[in-house]
Amino acid sequence: MRQVLVLVPLLLVACASSTDGPEPVSTAEPLALFDGKTLDGWHVDIPEADENPDLEPTFVVRDGLLVSLGSPQGHLITDRSFRDYRLTVEYRWSGEPGNCGVLVHCSTPRRLYGMFPQSIVCQMYCDNEGDFWCIGENVLADDMETRRGPDPAEWGVEEGQKRRILNLTDGSEKPAGEWNQMVIECRGTTIDIWVNGDHVNHGFDCTASEGQIALQAEGAEAEFRRVELVQL
């Protein structure tokens, strides 16, 4: 029988296995944000739980893996804030591939749509892995007219504005059921993303340089076996 550890949703208050990725730049000891047994060091924000405190949990530990069940939708957020780090996340789709993501530089809770914290999203959405999505914070990239839209007046960080910056590659993600590695390097106001060794995005002049880290629940079940941070 499988053992499942659950974390009861709480209202949020303020707040690399691949050898082809970036070269090591720090001798700091890696910090495992997920210990394989518990969700210590994290808290959840599931808006639906405000009116239904007995709601089934969205994030669980199952067979040594951190699992985002996809719904009810919300976020698993670190208690601590971080800056200047390299984050390695190893994940796979345990069912039908869909939407999920890693959020960096998180601050104001429920900043967008009453759900998403102010942050920069590093997209895990199937076939779009490595896109940036801007939520109350902005980041720039090369060739913005092609990757964000031809009219800069439409770019922005709020509802109805063009918040997405397309990634640089196609086909970096592995098939459903296989493990992927995403490496996110936040250094000052730059953000770089690698997926399975491919450099899939580079952002600069970000409006934030520190904050919490979050994992999404946005409709599809995803399993995480490694969530590890190295300070730069």
Tell me the per-residue pLDDT of 187-208, one tens digit each, with 9 for 90 and over.
999 999 999 999 999 999 999 9
Whether residue 225 has pLDDT greater than 60: yes
Each residue of 116-144: pLDDT tens digit? 999 999 999 999 999 999 999 999 999 99
Distance CA 81, CA 73 (A): 22
Task: Say if residue 113's pLDDT is above 60.
Answer: yes
Pairing of strands 82-83, 198-203: unpaired
| Angle at CA of residue 68, ends 62 and 70, nearest 5° | 130
Percentage of the chain beyond pLDDT 70 is 88
Q: What is the mean pLDDT of the chain?
A: 91
Res 15 pLDDT > 50: no
| Coil/strand/helix, residue 76 | strand
Q: Examine residue 213 and state whether it is found in any structural domain, yes or no.
A: yes
What Rg value do the Cα atoms of the chain yield, rounded? 17
Please name every residue paired with 224 in a beta bridge, in sequence order, or none if there are none: 66, 91
Residue 7: pLDDT band by 50, 70, 90 thresholds?
very low
Alpha helices, H only, 85-180: 144-147
- Which pLDDT does position 43 carry in this prediction? 98
- Cis check: omega of the bond before 30, within 30 degrees of 0: no
Is 168 contained in some domain? yes
Range of the domain at 102: 4-18+35-231
* pLDDT tens, residue by residue, 18-39: 335 565 555 689 999 999 999 9
Nearest to 211 by CA among 115, 78, 57, 81: 81
The verdict on residue 26 lying in a domain is no
Residue 150 lies in a domain: yes
CA dihedral 122, 222, 78, 33 (to 10 degrees): -100
- Of residues 24 and 49, the one with the higher pLDDT is 49
pLDDT at 28: 81
- Domain presence at residue 29: no
**pLDDT of 4 strictly over 60:** no
> Does the pTM of the predicted model rise above 0.85?
yes
Residue 205 and residue 210: Cα distance in Å, rounded? 13
What separation in angstroms does the CA of 160 have from each of 112, 154, 225?
Answer: 11, 9, 35
Q: Cα(223)–Cα(53) distance, rounded to whole angstroms?
A: 24
pLDDT at 167 over 80: yes
Total count of domains within the chain: 1
Tens-place pLDDT, residues 68-91: 999 999 999 999 999 999 999 999
Instruction: Look at residue 28 and tell me if it is in a domain.
Output: no
Across the range 150-167, mean pLDDT stands at 98
Structure confidence at residue 8 as a pLDDT band (50, 70, 90): very low
Return the CATH number at 43: 2.60.120.560
Alpha carbon dihedral 185, 190, 194, 200, in 10-degree steps, equals: 170
**Does residue 127 form part of some domain?**
yes
Tell me, yes or no, whether 12 lies in a domain.
yes
What separation, in Å, do the N-terminal and C-terminal C-alpha atoms of the chain show? 41
In the numeric block, the tokens 């969205």 are attached to: 58
In the chain, DSSP assigns E strands to 4-6, 31-32, 42-45, 59-62, 65-68, 74-78, 82-83, 85-93, 101-106, 119-123, 132-135, 164-165, 180-187, 190-195, 198-203, 210-217, 222-231
